Amino acid sequence: MKRRALRDGAVTLAIMFAVFIVSLVLSYLLSSGDAVSALFVFAVFLVSFLTDGYLWGFISAAVSMLIVNFAFTYPFFHFNFTLPENIVSALIFTTVALLTSTLTTQIKRTELIKREGEREKMRANLLRAVSHDLRTPLTAIYGSATTLLDNYQALSDEQICSMLRGITEDSESLLRMVENLLSVTRLDGGSVKINKMPTAVFDLFDSVIAKLNRRYPDVKISVNIPDGLLLVPMDALLIEQVLINLLENAVQHAKGFTKIELSANPEGEYAKFSVRDDGAGISPELIPELFTGRLGKGDSEGRGMGIGLSVCESIVRVHGGRITVTQLSPYGTEFSFSLEGASYELQ
């Protein structure tokens, strides 16, 4: 708030000063002050347009009126508030300031409302997709748990174990969705609270791979990072989430993959992260929909994955990057994004 006021004050001062100088030069060159009033009206307009609220517009109107009155109109270098043309110009200055400020404020407000509306719409879409995705595993958990509770004695050990396993798996998929939702809510609401810290990519990958190994003990992920120390400023927990989502996506959807690779490479001031698989690839018509959160419905395998990718997209975006997907030849898919501010030292 304070910084805004300071900025607005500086803008006002700069414009008024510039116009004052231009007026001095012009009236000297043209030997007349005819253009000066118009110049100052323009200054008042600019100030009102570029600053917030009404205050600075009015200040510039008052200052312009005084300057024009004092320096550029007869009687020169004297204030005169009785000449009708001076009163008229005072009125014009004030009106310009008032109208411009009103219009600008209104435009800003409309823009804000529009942006909020869009965010609201996005949130509603996401919520709709999520509620659907949440209901499925919840139904299975609830059903299995009540079945176990009501028919405990009638069930065979094998049946009980298989239901419990189902409950565990479904809870895990719920957990993942909730984690994604938490990230979204952290990113949402306009004020982005990301906690950027220089993070060693090794630490990041270490944590990611340890988690993936726990969830998919049979899947081997090859890791590719340069020797030495690659530091990248990031919110490590959020980027960890991005990489886990992308890797899980590959594990679950890259049909027939034999290899999944996680890599990071320093490229000047950037670090490029990528997740690559050699699976069947994504059909081209799905690619534009990939990050919108609308995919994965109705497909029990892909539950929540659409949300996962849209979360990846938002997280990378608030880090100032962009996530891209590339089809590899002859087959396979690569998701990649770059983060800025990387430093790399080979030891």
Partner 1 sequence: MNCSNKYKILIVEDDTNIRSFIATMLEAAGYQALLADSCSSGLLMFSSYNPDLTILDLGLPDRDGLELLSEVRQKSASPIIILSARSDELDKVYALDHGANDYITKPFGSAELMARVRSALRNSLPRAEEGVLSGKFELDDLLIDYDARRFFMRGEEIKLTQTEYNIIALLSEHLGKVMTYSSIIKAVWGANDIGGTKKLQVNMANIRRKLGIKPGDNKYIVNELGVGYRMQSAE
Binding residues for partner 1, rule: CB under 8 A, are: 168, 171, 175, 179, 182, 186, 195, 197-200, 202-210, 212-213, 221, 223, 225, 227-229, 231, 236-237, 240, 345, 347
Whether the CB-CB separation of 73 and 85 falls below 8 Å is answered with yes
d(CA 66, CA 82): 13
- Taking the least distance from each CB to partner 1, the nearer of 212 and 246 is 212
User: Going by DSSP bridges, is the β-strand pair 197-200/229-234 parallel, antiparallel, or unpaired?
Assistant: antiparallel
Cis? peptide before 75, omega within 30° of 0: yes
- Taking the least distance from each CB to partner 1, the nearer of 20 and 273 is 273
- Taking the least distance from each CB to partner 1, the nearer of 203 and 299 is 203
CB of 261 to partner 1, least distance (A): 12
CB of 246 to partner 1, least distance (A): 16
- Taking the least distance from each CB to partner 1, the nearer of 1 and 346 is 346
Distances (CA, A) of 50 to 11, 20, 105, 211, 219: 8, 18, 10, 51, 57
User: Going by DSSP bridges, is the β-strand pair 270-277/333-340 parallel, antiparallel, or unpaired?
Assistant: antiparallel
Closest CA to 198 of 340, 8, 42, 332: 340
User: Which residues have a Cβ under 8 Å from the Cβ of 261 and sit 6 or more positions away?
Assistant: 221, 222, 223, 224, 274, 275, 276, 277
Q: For residue 279, give both structure tokens.
A: 């699976």
Q: What is the radius of gyration, based on Cα positions, of the chain?
A: 31
CB of 222 to partner 1, least distance (A): 10
CB of 280 to partner 1, least distance (A): 26
- Give me the amino acid identity at 325: V
Count the neighbouring beta carbons within 10 Å of the beta carbon of residue 259. 14
Closest CA to 263 of 246, 280, 251: 246
Q: For residue 328, give both structure tokens.
A: 């590899």
- Taking the least distance from each CB to partner 1, the nearer of 43 and 181 is 181
CB of 237 to partner 1, least distance (A): 6
CB of 243 to partner 1, least distance (A): 11
Give the three-state DSSP class for 277: strand
Beta bridge partners of 310: none
CB of 231 to partner 1, least distance (A): 6
CB of 233 to partner 1, least distance (A): 12
- Taking the least distance from each CB to partner 1, the nearer of 19 and 134 is 134
- Taking the least distance from each CB to partner 1, the nearer of 96 and 208 is 208
Count the neighbouring beta carbons within 10 Å of the beta carbon of residue 143. 14
CB of 191 to partner 1, least distance (A): 16
Q: For residue 3, give both structure tokens.
A: 């910084």
